[in-house]
């Protein structure tokens, strides 16, 4: 194939492509796409109930030090219960990865009281070991509360449950709601 033949083929291809796009632009040739075009109305509908990625700080306490790590969770603006379940689930997984909490611990359910001010977290077993000091238990709870406070939800208190009954601990009274503000300043 010589240069002249290549040039003729290239020019013919350009003319055909130009004619094709001209026919589409003039609506003489209609191509039906398999997706809906975005209009101003449809984009508002999509963003109204859309699930977004939200950056959150996950706090932890290990080796007498508190530290945090930023993570991204899926956030659905109209579903607070599911959002808290994702957040606390990430927190539990992070604590397990750092070998702070038992590997078999899992969050079973999340619920809100009728007024929405009290959060109920149900786990499959107690979060903390009986051998831990009161200070360590307190700091772990503070880390969870700070993680939840970080997403700025209108929660006043948290109740910790194990299999739908109050969590039992020798050092911390879980029969009462724990305020979201925590146990006080350090």
Q: Which residue has the higher pLDDT, 55 or 37?
A: 55
CATH class, domain 50-179, is alpha beta
- The values of phi and psi at residue 93, to 5°, are -60, -40
pLDDT in tens, 84-126: 999 999 999 998 888 888 778 889 999 988 787 899 999 998 8
Residue 15 has pLDDT above 90, yes or no: yes
Domain range summary for the chain, segments of one domain joined by +: 3-46, 50-179
pLDDT tens sequence across 131-185: 888 888 899 899 999 999 988 888 899 999 998 888 888 888 888 888 888 766 4
pLDDT given for residue 39 in this prediction: 55
Residue 81 has which token pair?
Answer: 């219960």
Burial letters for 27-54: b for 16+ Cβ neighbours within 10 Å, e otherwise? eeeeeeeeeeeeeeeeeeeeeeeeeeeb
């Amino acid at each position: 194939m010589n240069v002249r033949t290549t040039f003729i083929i290239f020019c013919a291809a350009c003319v055909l492509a130009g004619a094709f796009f001209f026919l589409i632009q003039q609506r003489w040739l209609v191509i039906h796409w398999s997706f809906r075009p975005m209009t101003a109305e449809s984009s508002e509908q999509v963003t109204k109930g859309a699930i977004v990625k939200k950056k959150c700080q996950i706090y932890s306490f290990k080796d007498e030090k508190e530290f945090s790590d930023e993570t991204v969770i899926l956030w659905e603006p109209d579903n607070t219960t599911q959002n808290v379940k994702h957040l606390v689930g990430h927190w539990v997984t992070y604590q397990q990865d750092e070998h702070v909490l038992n590997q078999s611990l899992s969050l079973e359910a999340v619920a809100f009281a009728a007024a929405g001010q009290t959060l109920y977290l149900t786990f499959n077993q107690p979060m903390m070991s009986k051998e831990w000091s009161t200070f360590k238990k307190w700091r772990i709870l503070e880390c969870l509360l700070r993680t939840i406070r970080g997403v700025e939800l209108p929660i006043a208190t948290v109740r910790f449950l194990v299999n739908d009954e109050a969590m039992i601990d020798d050092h911390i009274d879980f029969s009462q709601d724990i305020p979201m503000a925590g146990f006080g300043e350090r």
